[in-house]
Amino acid sequence: MPPAVAPALELQPFHCPFPAAVHPRAEEIERHCVAWIDRFELYGGEAQRERLIATRAAEVYARALPTADAERVADVAKWLYWGFATDDLYYDNGPTSRRVADFLALGAPLVRLSEEPRAGFAWPLPYDAALRDLTRAILRHATPSQRIEWAHTARAWFFGMAWDVANAERGTPPSLNEYLAMRMHTGGLASWLTTLNIANGIELAPARAASGPVRALVEAWSTFCLLLNDLMSFAKEARNADSSSNVVAVLAHERSCAPREALHAAHALCDRIATLFLALHGQLLAQADGDAPLARFLASLAHTWRAILDWGFRTARYVTGGDPGAPALLTFPGWADAPRDDSLAPLPYPAIAWWWEELA
């Protein structure tokens, strides 16, 4: 490991106004997921198995879904375990992580399995039996419109990853505006949101879900949650020479500065988008009287923000770069009482500036 990686990651305290929560059956949910991982051998050997289990992916879902049915939480958490297993082999590292044609040759049929798990192919796909099983498990709880949304958001996730692989193939990071436009897709947060709604058993009215304020809220939430993940994962990605984009590297390239300097700008970006999210969240919460699905929807977004922070600094995936026994690359910097920048002025990035137009 290059000695400069760990010192370069001097994270600032994080602000989150929502309290911690966790499902009372979190340990049972995790045991169920580990048994599923072993059933489908979602790893190539014992070391990979340990790294995958050490991600504690079930924990972040248990924190994001503290009141949902435990079986449903376990079913949707499998999606994240599967995603981590395939990310490490095909997206962050390996030949398919830098050749978009090779990535699409794998990604397109995997998307098809997410749409229809009964679809067959003449060649084996990575962890396809596990994907078929988890898709069936998730969709057995879904409404008809949620089934369509699940397929749509899974497709968007693979599309976003293919876009990012194309950047790696060219050897040039995207601009910050391009990155902000695509981050919610490269990290699959739209798919995450679909699983939250399925696990919670809630569905917004179509007119509400399609409204400008809800769409802006969801995109802002998806983006800043993944920017938080960028901050937590940067040391791991730098050590492992991952090919996927990260906001710290994007900012450093665009501003011709060192990652240490870019970290401050990345924190400020998170604060500004989170501040907008809170304003939109409050605006919609004021309209939620008598709309129980909307109130529960808003609560799940808030739980997820806090869950990512509480989980991210506990999982070996980021703290030690994936190896449970390795020295720490990451330490929790503490909590901030308020964001460092709480301005509600629109950010100067055309791809996302419309979010602020949805404020009442």
Is residue 2 in some structural domain? no
Distance CA 179, CA 321 (A): 23
Q: Is residue 11 part of a domain?
A: no
Residue 17 counted as domain residue: no
Query: Residue 335 gets which letter from DSSP?
Result: B
Residue 14 lies in a domain: no
Instruction: Determine, yes or no, domain membership for 5.
Output: no
User: Is residue 19 one of the residues assigned to a domain?
Assistant: no
In a domain, 301, yes or no: yes
Q: What is the pTM of this model?
A: 0.94
Handedness of CA 254, 260, 266, 271 (dihedral sign): negative
Domain CATH number, residue 118: 1.10.600.10
Report how far residue 96's alpha carbon sits from residue 34's, in angstroms, rounded to the nearest whole number: 27
Which range of residues forms the domain containing residue 161?
Answer: 25-329+338-358
8-state DSSP, 183: H
Distance (Å, whole) CA 5 – CA 305: 26
3-state secondary structure of 14: strand
pLDDT by position in tens, the chain (length 360) = 333 344 446 899 999 999 999 999 999 999 999 999 999 999 989 999 999 999 999 999 999 999 999 999 999 999 999 999 988 777 666 777 788 898 899 889 999 999 999 999 988 888 999 999 999 999 999 999 999 999 999 999 999 999 999 999 999 999 999 999 999 999 999 999 999 999 999 999 999 999 999 999 999 999 999 999 999 999 888 888 887 889 999 999 999 999 989 999 999 999 999 999 999 999 999 999 889 999 999 999 999 999 999 999 999 999 988 887 888 888 899 999 999 999 999 999 999 999 999 998
Counted domains in the chain? 1
- Answer whether residue 10 is part of any domain: no
